Chain A
Amino acid sequence: MSDMALDISLIVNGERLSERVEARKTLVDFLREDLALTGSHVGCEHGVCGACTVRVNGEIVRGCLMLAAQCDGATVDTIEGLSDSGELADLQAAFEHRNALQCGFCTPGMLLAAQDLLKRGGVPSREEIRGHLSGNYCRCTGYHAIIDAVEAVAQSRAKGESP
């Protein structure tokens, strides 16, 4: 049946692509398996852990709860693109400096969720940071170091020290 696979055109990390995808393929599996962009991780596959967080049309989404077929015409940004562009450089440096990661499995999703909060501007409270990252599980750090890193970057960006 022809509707089992679809042709989609989309922009991934700035690159325009046309691909044929199985209807049942999730966005994160498409990114990892078809495009070899393995920075977005597959954890729970039902929207709980946040490891698959990517940006679609500028907004963070669960890569496991969206189908690749739904991304026809969309602009998708992953950790690879946002690393290369330097948009996350200060956050990445702060995560490293504060030991806000250990195994790193959650880190790409955590960085995207943190950047989603920080790009709204201002310095969010620790409570707001916790709330915004509540959908991203980390099983190594106990979260405090992550909150510290995000708060430090918010403060430095507010002082105009952003990259």
Chain B
Amino acid sequence: MKPALFAYKKARTLDDAVALLGTHQDARLLAGGQSLIATLNMRLSQPSLLIDINGVAGLAAIAHKNGKIEIGALVRHAQAERDELIAKHVPLLARALPHIGHPAVRNRGTIGGSIAFADPAAELPACLLALDGEIDVYGPKGKRTIRAQDFFKGLFETALGPQEVLTAIRVPAAGKETRTGFAELARRHGDYAMVGLAASARADGKGLRDVRLAFFGVAAMPVRARQSEAALTKGDIEAAVAALDLSPHDDVQASGAVKRHLAAVLLRRIAPQLMEPA
């Protein structure tokens, strides 16, 4: 199909984008467009105005600031994949990025877009949750920062207000004791995962602490398996698998029972990765 009629405006600044969002209730921001334009083509979404933010300056940088890595909303997946700061300081993202879509999609798709769209089967929201990251947004009242755990609210639902623009995400730079693991199962490389797992922890002597297991593709949004995290802190992989407190629904990809089984498969793959030095 083809998109329904819409108007198209380029925002020159963030204030411009915020003001334009105020002019049409159903306006949508266009960043990479790799999800949005697909939904327009299928007429799953019919906004009256698209606000192209690709020309807004200052949103495509990656920087090391105060022990954190800040990634601008307009950083493309491919740019992040090649970036040395991310390779060195955010190993979980470095592991996850090659799983996002396909090369042509990663050339356009943006980090901010993936987070703001909040697809329940997408990699980056789960990574951000696993890393206890934060999200900067800018709106009519200025700038505010939201923790990942407070940002994802439900199926494609986030804490973003109707006139707010996601401007950057921040995650802690990995230290010597940081451990991360990432795995997903998809029918074809690059497709949305049936089930995926983004995990982080800190080595503590021979054990682990601050274990964070963020599963995706198993609920309306990325979810942590807290009982499994507690079991893994004690170093018991089988107990962690037994404690998996997920109840995925059936979807077009797999039944809930299959997803639950696959989540256990992923946990068994990732747990040893967390326990080994990176």
Contacts and interface: CB of A to CB of B under 8 A. Distances in A.
Interface in A52-70: 53, 59-62, 64-67, 69-70
B37 A65 contact: yes
Contact of B105 (A3, A47, A70): A47
B107 A59 contact: yes
| Most chain B beta carbons < 10 A, residue from A4, A60, A132 | A60
Contact of A29 (B2, B34, B107, B191): B2
Contacts of B49: 3
Interface string B81-104: 000000000000000001001111
Contacts of A45: 1-2, 38, 41-42
Q: Report the interface size class on chain B.
A: 20 to 34
A69 B108 contact: no
A69 B30 CA distance: 12
Contacts of B42: 45-46
Contacts of A135: 101-105, 190
Contacts of A13: none
B37 A26 contact: yes
Contacts of A117: 103
Contact of A67 (B37, B78, B103, B188): B37
A26 B41 contact: yes
A136 B34 CA distance: 16
Interface string A32-60: 00000000000001111010010000011
